[in-house]
Copies of this chain bind each other. A is one copy, B any other.
Amino acid sequence: MTITRDQVLDRALGLAAWRQVADAVEADITSGRLKPGDRLAPESQLAERFGVNRHTVRRGLAMLAERGLVRATQGSGTFVETAPVVYPIGLKTRFSEVMAKVGREARGELVSAEHVPADKGIAEALGIEKGSPILQMHTIYRADGVPLSFARTCFPLPRFLGLDQHFAAKGSLTKAYKKLGIEDYKRLSTRITARMADPAEAAQLDIAPGRVVLIISSINVDLEGVRIQATQSRFVADRVELTIER
């Protein structure tokens, strides 16, 4: 493929070159010339095409990466990100079902599980005594292999002993609950905020530290209204769009 040199750049004035590069690439994406999953031309080629230094290209791409439009992988290339998943937050939100509906393969992965005493916040959320034993799990949920959320989930302990192993085997919390005889559960409360990902979260979610995550703190109850689960999920902000069902 031939490379067109000096694609329109308003050199003289106004916008910075790196911003113009970003705009041009963004236009390629929004117009559909580049589709989700496509690989961008290498930085060196883009540099040549726009008649700028590779650093200048990199700065433009960095901005797009921040906004979640593209994603760079060392040694491989820079790729157009897939469109965000619409994720309903309702009384009964089941991750696997949501994903299945959008036609994506979903699975929860158990990162760690441990028995620890409940701190003040967790104890309040679960309605138990501070210091009571709880099962604390860290999990990652992916859609088609791409991490969507990284969560810490806590369960009161005598009751949910072994839940982690069921979850690890099934990859679904709903199924793990069934193993323990809990046929149904629902959402009691949901709180939402957002901030930038810290390094640990970024590593788990495979994003650059500083990217935005939506923080969803929720409490689930069983059919008797007893609190069984307190979760803090961190969703990669530009990979999901939350919708509130009524």
Q: Which residues on A are within 8 Å of B, measured CB to CB?
A: 63, 66-68, 84, 86, 89, 91, 187-196, 209-210, 212-214, 237-238, 240-246
Contacts and interface: CB of A to CB of B under 8 A. Distances in A.
A25 to B, nearest CB: 14
A195 B235 CA distance: 12
A244 B194 contact: no
Contact of A193 (B189, B196, B241): B241
Given A63-B210, A210-B63, A212-B212, A195 B246 contact: no
A86 B191 CA distance: 9
- The 10 lowest CB-CB distance pairs between A and B, nearest first, are A194-B194, A192-B242, A194-B237, A190-B244, A191-B243, A193-B241, A194-B212, A194-B214, A67-B196, A66-B210
B210 A67 contact: yes
A237 B193 contact: yes
A30 B203 CA distance: 22
A241 B193 CA distance: 5
26 contacts: A66-B196, A66-B210, A67-B195, A67-B196, A67-B210, A68-B195, A68-B196, A91-B192, A91-B246, A187-B246, A188-B246, A189-B243, A189-B244, A190-B243, A191-B244, A192-B214, A192-B241, A192-B242, A192-B243, A192-B244, A193-B214, A193-B240, A193-B241, A194-B212, A195-B237, A195-B238
Q: Which of A68, A89, A240, A242: most chain B CB closer than 10 A?
A: A242
B244 A244 contact: yes
Contacts of A190: 243-244
A99 to B, nearest CB: 18
Nearest to A211: B196
Nearest to A196: B67
A68 B242 CA distance: 23
A228 B66 CA distance: 34
Given A66-B66, A66-B210, A67-B210, A193 B84 contact: yes
